Amino acid sequence: MEQNTFNPIQREYLLSELEQLNNDIKSENRYIITRKSKEDSNRFKSVSEPYSLIKLHLLEERKVMIENLLKANDWVYIDQYSAAKESLIK
């Protein structure tokens, strides 16, 4: 039986999105660590830190979603849409 996989365009897109998310998470962590060591850390803690933590949480949730889509490759096949093929079927 033939193994069904994501078409290459979708898989490449998901992998590039995952790489970008990893970079965003690293930079957000660096920002939080850097800002905590500054002299205006009280202002950071009251204003920017909650926002940064929420942003970091959303980035991590998005990363999990993309990883799950890549894992779904084992049992789901997403066919590339072709308008010509759809018109022939009808």
CB 6 within 8 A of CB 14: yes
What is the number of other CB atoms lying within 10 angstroms of the CB of residue 20?
13
Q: How many domains does the chain have?
A: 1
Ramachandran bin of 82, using left for φ above 0, alpha for ψ from -120 to 50, beta for the remaining angles: beta
Residues of the domain holding 64: 8-80
The tokens for 55 are: 């942003």
What pLDDT score does 15 carry? 87
Q: What is the pLDDT of residues 27-45, one digit of tens each?
A: 999 988 888 777 777 777 7
What pLDDT score does 21 carry? 93
Q: What is the pLDDT of residues 44-75, one digit of tens each?
A: 778 788 888 899 999 999 999 988 888 776 55
Helical H segments across the chain, by residue range: 8-36, 41-43, 49-71, 83-89
